[in-house]
Structure formats: structure tokens, C-alpha cells
Structure 1
Amino acid sequence: MASRVECEAGEAAAEEELSVLASIYCAEGEFQLLRRSAQDGLLVQIKRTVGAADRGLAVSLLFLLPPRYPSCPPDISVSSPGLSRTQCHDIRRKLLDHAAALPPEPMVHQLVERLQQCVEVREESRGREEEVTEGGGDERWAAALLLDHIRSRRRYVGLLQRWSLQLQLPGALLLGPRILVVLRGARPDVKEFCRLLKTVKVDVDSSGRKCKERMMKVLIEAPMSSSCEHGLQTFLVKEYKSLPELSAAFQELHMTELYELILPLLGDLTAYGSPQ
């Protein structure tokens, strides 16, 4: 009972905070509620321009507010075209540490304000880090994974969305005759996503027991073209029933090149049933 009361109180506090955030970050595209889930909570995106006045830095923050928020802090993702992956991870860690030190009350606005300090610290060493990563270690990759089946859809999808946020890997789960996961981001993070799929119990077997994803196949991993950069921003779930619908989904994701590469590997889509 205490847990349910706590969740209901957290939901009320989160909803009130959403209203406040929408009024504070009211410029076009600045605030967006991306997802509302009874199981996983709220996914909120806030875009800010921070840093020195003469060269403001565009930063996008994703906050995953779990059902028990604000009794427990949110998960956070940081991305910016002006920062390296290492810099974004470092800022994320500082924000998570700050969130853990705050009292259990609505904190998103405080964390957004804290971002300014984190970016100022990063700018002091930015030139040095850019020299270190200049050799291409931060190259962006695209990957397509093939899943055999999904029995426990809510659990499976929830884990994929959580890993995507934690690893800062925008992506999509495409549910249809073949079940595909599309990811884009740094190659080490793609590798970690695949490792989690193989080692964490993400689904249930035919007997209803939790099981790992042992049938996943990596269809392709490749350096990402610049056209993909403007597509995925979060982790989407889309359903399709035919090849034209699958093609349209990849076009919407700005990943037509990846679709053309994996199409010969998919075989006859009509030979496969829909995911459970």
C-alpha cells in the first residue's frame, strides 16, 4: 500500500512540475513531453542554449522521471552537436551526482540551471579534449539488430528504452513480420547495448520464466552518414505490416541508406508472423 501511495503522490508532483516547466521553457521546441508510461514514468526533453554569450552552445536534455519520482531522482541523457560524446557523458554524470544530493522534491528546473555550471567547467578544457578525440574515436555509427521474438512486450520495450537513454543511443524498435532495433551513436555504446541484450533477462520463455535474448543478430554496423544526424532523437516504437510500411518507417527516421543495406538480409517478410 505504501508503494502505491508513494507512486500516486509522485505522479501528482510530476504532473504539477510538468505544468511549471512548460511555462518556464515556453520558447518553440524548448520543452516537450515525449512519453507518458504508467510503468516507466515520464520522458521529458528540454533544449537550452548555454555557455559563453558570444558562442552559445545548444544542449538537449532528456529526463526520465520514474513513477516514484521525486522520491527517487530522474535518469538523464545529454546531447549536443558542439560537445564530444565524452564531454556529454561527463556532464551527465555531474548532473546525476547533483540530482542524488538534492532532497526528494521536484528538481528538473534545478538540474537545467545546474547545466550552465557544468558547461562552463567543460569549456575550460574543451580544446584539450577535442585534440584527444580528433583521431575519430567519437565517430557516429548506425546499427540494425534482428530480434527473434518478443513475448513480454511491456518489459522488453521498457528495457530497450531505458538502455537507449542511459547510453545516449537514439533508436527505434520496429515491430512487424521481422522485429528490428535500429540504433545510432558511438560504436562502444552500440556494443554495450548489444552486450546488455545478451546478458540481461529481457523477456520470458514459453514457460513464462524470465530469459535472456540469445537469438539476437547484428545485421549491420556501419559509420553513419550525415543525413542520419537529423533523424532519431529518442527511442521510438513503431509497427509495420508490409515492406512498403517498413521502407516508410526508415524514411521517417532519415535512415534510408541503412534500410537499403539490410533489405537483402531480411528475406521474405511474408514468411514471418507478427510479434506477440
Structure 2
Amino acid sequence: MLETRQLRYFTAVAEELHFARAADRLNVAQSALSVQIQRLERELGVRLLNRNKRQPVSLTDAGQLFHAEAVAALRHVERADQVGRLAASGLAGIVRLGFVASGATSGVLSGMLRNFRQSHPDVRISVIPMQTPRQFEALDTGEIDVGIVRPRRRYPAGIVAKVVQTEHLMVAMSDVHPLATRRKLTARDLEGQSFISPQFDEEEGFGEVLEALGTAGGFEACLDYRVQDFISGLSLACAGYGVAVVPESMSNFKQPGLCYRPIADFEFSVHLALATRRRELSPAVRAFVKALS
């Protein structure tokens, strides 16, 4: 098996075409250099250098071919060393980032990526749209490293989260809906409406928002359409199937026939959180989380 040292010694001689100058360049004894070159030729089973006391050192045909490959190999070794050191310090590697749809429409996702890229341009980022409950599973299995989620009162074992954004709510509806003529709504105005909302098979979620809205308006909100994400909900609302109570950043999602109205007397806030594994081994992931803290 060839050694990196042998390649370095040979390339020095091949480029200097002089053993003494090559030894000085490498800061080694000329005798040690000669021994290593001879050992290399024995291992390869071919003569790489023409040695003649009356003529300068020259490369054989095999030596010329081997020199080109040796230079390329040393470059790969140097690059591997650099990448390894960058990875150890979190300056290289990969971060797999899950996100809910509103993480993108709110600008939280792009803001995180922009800030991190400025200080860690060599870290590759993989972004994966994923519902909040699914992200917790993916964090546990290692499918993703970080998640932009809707926070929960309790998280699965080994997962922690930190709120990164807070915003108020708006009502999305068709522009021909009777309530669309008003500039602002009250919670009471929404009594009797068919609500559309993301809600999964868990106690927490946007169902809590509807419950709080009903309490504020003095009615019981009816979740008629359960969807997987806000984009689906907005499409149904635009088509007239009901109204969707959504984070205010979702108003960035424009669609013909869709309008948004604020709720004047409903101060309920919703949040986005950054979820991670409690014990993270990857330096790149640790650097990503640290950069956002």
C-alpha cells in the first residue's frame, strides 16, 4: 500500500529533478529521500527515475505517468484533510431541515438559511416539507436534523424546541363570502361558520385555536374540514367551502378569489419553534442551531 509520504517525496524529486534540492525542499536527509524512492519503485515494480551521475535526473515514461497521478492523489488527500477539519468544526457537512408550510410563507425558513449561509457556506442544506407530528418522528429516527414546527406543550423524549416566531391570526375566505365586505371582523361574527383547519390525530394543534375563538365569540366552533396544511385549507376557503383561521403570515400566499380579514377582538397568538434532538452529535447541526440562538 502506497503512503502519502512516498507520493510527496516522489513529486518533489520529479519537480526538482535533483535529489539534493528535493531533500532541502522537504527538509529531510538526502539519503532518507533516496531510500524512500527506491522503496516506492520496488513496490510498484517499475523504475520511475533515470539516475546517471553524468546526467541530470529525469523521469522515465512510467515516472511521467505516475507523477500526474501522484499529484492528483495528493490534491485529493489535501482536500479530504480540509473537509475533515471543516466538518469537525461544523464548517462543512449536511443539515437536513424539516419545515411546516407556514415556516416558508412566514419567511422564517429563508431567514434562517440566509443567516446560516453567511457564516457556513460549505455546509449543505436539505429542506423537506413535513407536518409537525411527522417531524417529531423524523427527528427521532435521524431522517431530519432540525425541524421548524408548531410548538407543543410536551415533546417526545429526546427532543427540545425553542420558539422562533410569534404572530396573530387572520380569517381567510372567498372574496364573495358575506363577511368579505367587512374590513375587520369580531370573534362573534364567525358564529355558525364552517371552519377549515389543519388538525392531526393528537390533542394539540390548531383545533385549540378554534376552541379559543369560539370561547371569545360565545359559540362552539365547528371543524368541518380537516386538512394536512394551510395551503390546502386556503384552497378550500377560496372555493367557498368555509373559512380558515390562519397565521397572519399566510396572507403572503396570494390566490385569485381569496381574501384575508383581521379579527379585531381575538388576541390569540400562534408560534413557530425550532425543534432539535437534545443530544446532537453532528458539528454542522450544532453550528446551525447555535447560529440561530
Higher relative contact order (CA 8 A, sep 6+): 2
TM-score, normalised via structure 1 length: 0.21
Q: Which has the larger radius of gyration?
A: 2
